[in-house]
Structure 1
């Protein structure tokens, strides 16, 4: 599914806009965890297995596996078997680079607003 953000892309009933907005929201939910973003960033370096990612990220194997399953379900990563392990790669590395670069640009334009957002920002006092 592609997302055309031009106003002319919406039909008279707005369904195309709703579908595109829903798909974008699903993508952003799939990437809404700091560990999943870290996995995507690390996979930009090349393919890795769960043990490599566990060591690099300092997370439990089960946590990394859970996040990889989510990213695979979203179509962002794929795996291939190598012996008893699986090697994970990005399905569309150029698009991930573009998205992360766009996110960095938008974050630089908004300053601290995103991290200070009362709904989704980073909390200063962990509960």
Structure 2
């Protein structure tokens, strides 16, 4: 599964589908450290993929795939200007969600990040590692 396919992974339809599918897809789209870093950067205003590449230290193809995922999930929109595309967040409520998550993480301490079943310190810690060394 490539990065852009991951966004739709939680939105299956069928008999086992519940009304939680949309929430699962939303949280899955935010579960990648690079996508979360992109969302955080977009909270400061619009930016081009080329600028994100430099700021995050990731390959252009990687940043483009993550931006496409966020766009496909309806979280990011592109605005063309000449031959360039500037990306921005579609909904300011996304920042409210991230602020609430930070409040929850502060309240629970490291218990969420160190969940023995799902969390790992490297992937879920307070600092987001966006380098492609993984």
TM-score norm. by structure 2 comes to 0.74
Q: How does 1:31-110 map to 2 (within 5 A)?
A: 31-93=30-92, 95-110=93-108
- Work out the number of aligned pairs and report it: 106
Distance of 2:103 and 2:49 partners within structure 1: 30
Counterpart Cα distance in 1 of 2:121 and 2:108: 17
C-alpha separation in 2, matches of 1:23 and 1:82: 32
Alpha-carbon distance between aligned partners in 2 of 1:40 and 1:50, rounded to the nearest angstrom = 12
Equivalent-residue separation in structure 2 for 1:61 and 1:72 (angstroms): 16
**In terms of mean alpha carbon deviation, does 63-72 or 114-123 score higher?**
114-123
CA RMSD of aligned residues (A): 1.5
How far did 1:123 drift? 4.5
The equivalent of 1:121 in structure 2 is: 119
Larger helix proportion of the pair? 1
User: Does the residue aligned with 1:116 lie in a helix, a strand or coil?
Assistant: coil
1:53-79 CA-partner distances (Å, limit 9, x unpaired): 111111111110000000000000000
Larger Rg: 1
- Relative distance call for 1:51 and 1:72 in structure 2 (3 A) is same
Structure 1 CA distance for aligned equivalents of residues 96 and 44 of structure 2: 15
Structure 1: gaps of 5 or more residues: 1-17
CA distance in 1, matches of 2:116, 2:57: 28
Q: Cα offset for 1:90?
A: 0.3
